[in-house]
Amino acid sequence: MRMSRLLCCALLLGALPVRADGLEFFAQNNPHEFSLFAGIWDYGVGGDIATGGNRITIDSDNGIKANPQAQVLLHYGFENRWIPALTAAYMHVGGAGQYLAPASLQFGGITILSGNTLILAGVNFNDYELDADWRLLAWREHQADARTRSILEVQPGIALKYLAGHANVVGTTTIGVIGIPLGTVIQQERFALDQPVPLLHGRVEFNPWPVVHLELSGGYFAHNGSHAGEMRAVGTLELYRGLSITLGYQEQLYKVKDDPYLLHARLNGPTAGLSYVGF
């Protein structure tokens, strides 16, 4: 009972704008903001594809290569404090490579022989995402021209990813007698990625100077053996009238279960591009 009363009081307090030296909860009169980012994410890949207790490595240290991929983010913030700021994002995830099997195993319908089977493994899918973040806390500076500038904002929210693509493993085994090759056997296992993934999401924005914007965002979700997580830390420097250069680091975690397969992939690396912010 006591806990429920405290929760009710917290909700009532949160429903009202509270100010303390520029600090606002559920701030009113938010800036009507629009921003667009277009850039490149240069990442490394780590992880594996598993089935039946056996795993095939998809790792940059084991011959798997990933080319830098395009990334687009569109952000729109509303003036109304109850309407969340929306961010739509798209990126393509891909990586493939081949290596000689270090051990013998049975991967689905593929018979892999140590030192005799060439394994080609890869992933190729699109990641679509929509975020909704509420301005829970804002620290603002009141300027001489009657406008305000946000110095710090804390924005908890939710996100929905949609993954569409596939992962595949191809085994090419050479058949021979007393060292004389007689032919090859090619076998393939492939499974589709086609599922929505919800996330608990959050964002922190810090603007120490009018031309510098720092942002940390991330999210995570786990359910029924599947996991998804992300983290993005970037810094933006305005060059001319809202046009800015953005540099940072990004990491994505995917653990997608689609019986009898399980894809586990971790991607991380630098991101860079151009941003435009308008009001």
List the single range of 96-105, 153-162, 169-178, 228-237 with lowest mean pLDDT.
Answer: 169-178
Per-residue confidence (pLDDT) for residue 107, from 0 to 100: 95
**Domain membership flag for residue 187:** no
Q: Give me the amino acid identity at 138.
A: A
**Residues in Cβ contact with 100 at an 8 Å cutoff, skipping those fewer than 6 apart:** 115, 117, 118, 119
- pLDDT confidence of 60, banded at 50, 70, 90? confident
Range of the domain at 201: 33-98+125-164+196-278
**Domain membership flag for residue 48:** yes
Interval 41-66 mean pLDDT: 91
What CATH number is given to the structural domain containing 57? 2.40.128.90
**Domain membership flag for residue 110:** no
Residue 24 has pLDDT above 50, yes or no: yes
- pLDDT confidence of 27, banded at 50, 70, 90? low
- pLDDT confidence of 201, banded at 50, 70, 90? very high
Interval 223-241 mean pLDDT: 92
Global pTM reads 0.85
**Domain membership flag for residue 231:** yes
Interval 237-263 mean pLDDT: 94
Residue 7 has pLDDT above 80, yes or no: no
Per-residue confidence (pLDDT) for residue 5, from 0 to 100: 43
- Mean pLDDT over each residue of the chain, to the nearest integer: 86
In DSSP terms, which residues pair with 150 in a beta bridge? 140
Q: Give me the amino acid identity at 92.
A: H
Structural domains of the chain, count? 1
- pLDDT confidence of 26, banded at 50, 70, 90? low
**Residues in Cβ contact with 10 at an 8 Å cutoff, skipping those fewer than 6 apart:** none
Per-residue confidence (pLDDT) for residue 18, from 0 to 100: 41
**Domain membership flag for residue 13:** no
pLDDT tens per residue, range 106-131:
999 999 999 889 999 999 999 999 99
Per-residue confidence (pLDDT) for residue 11, from 0 to 100: 36
Residue 16 has pLDDT above 50, yes or no: no
**Domain membership flag for residue 171:** no
**Domain membership flag for residue 264:** yes
Tokens 């395009």 appear where?
A: 70
Per-residue confidence (pLDDT) for residue 138, from 0 to 100: 87
Residue 68 has pLDDT above 80, yes or no: yes
Per-residue confidence (pLDDT) for residue 17, from 0 to 100: 43
Interval 136-144 mean pLDDT: 79
Give the CA radius of gyration of the chain.
Answer: 24
Token pair of 200 as six digits: 């608990």
**Domain membership flag for residue 1:** no
